[in-house]
Amino acid sequence: MKLIAALFFMLLLGACSSRPHIVNSTDINISSTTEVSIVSHGWHTGFVVPAKTITEQLPQLKERFSDTPFIEFGWGDKGFYQAQEITSGLTLQAIFWPTESVIHAVAIPEPVKNYFSRSDVITLCLQGRQYAMLISFIENSFYKQSNGDIVPLKNGIYGDSQFYKGEGDYYLMNTCNKWTAKGLSSAGMDISTTFKLTAGSIMDYLLKQNIALADGSSGC
């Protein structure tokens, strides 16, 4: 009975909003190959992208991060991600109950490997279309008001950073790492997003594809 109840609960969660959705088309036109990094912080993954294209799509980011060459983006649970102290209650709520989401944006003023020297970093070369689709996915992960403005929230948790109201709900089957998987899928990678719920599952997938730049240095 416990197994049946657990499966029923999983189905209920699966019926919840899975936004932000994988992007299948974009109006962004990029011709050059671009270097993008995926960073694992142990339990959470995010993308580091050049600031130029994403700030062109979201001018408020340009106002907030005017001088940085790169920006890291992560998506996660509003309460858990922004909390100054992580409690068991916050953790259980984030895992088992659909909650509002946030985007965490961080200015990266130097090479990614240097800035995140204690984190695992995998760097990819995305072709123009692939990169445009990833940028569209990240852009669509921000909640937008009727006038198109994004919504700033608290200051971020490290470095020069900012939280923004996110699109979609966070829950057991729609985690921060599944968000990264959906971004990779948007960029044209053959990745199943269903059970990409941990940082390790994302990094293992990328390593097995043999598509990463070996030392994280510029090679695009």
Q: Are strands 212-213 and 99-108 parallel, antiparallel or unpaired?
A: unpaired
Closest CA to 46 of 141, 110, 133, 130: 141
* pLDDT of the chain, 220 residues: tens digit per residue: 433 333 333 433 443 448 899 999 999 999 999 999 999 998 899 999 999 999 999 999 999 999 999 999 999 887 645 544 444 444 444 455 568 899 999 999 999 999 999 999 999 999 999 999 999 999 999 999 999 999 999 999 999 999 999 999 988 778 899 999 999 999 999 998 988 889 999 999 999 886 655 444 556 7
| pTM score | 0.85
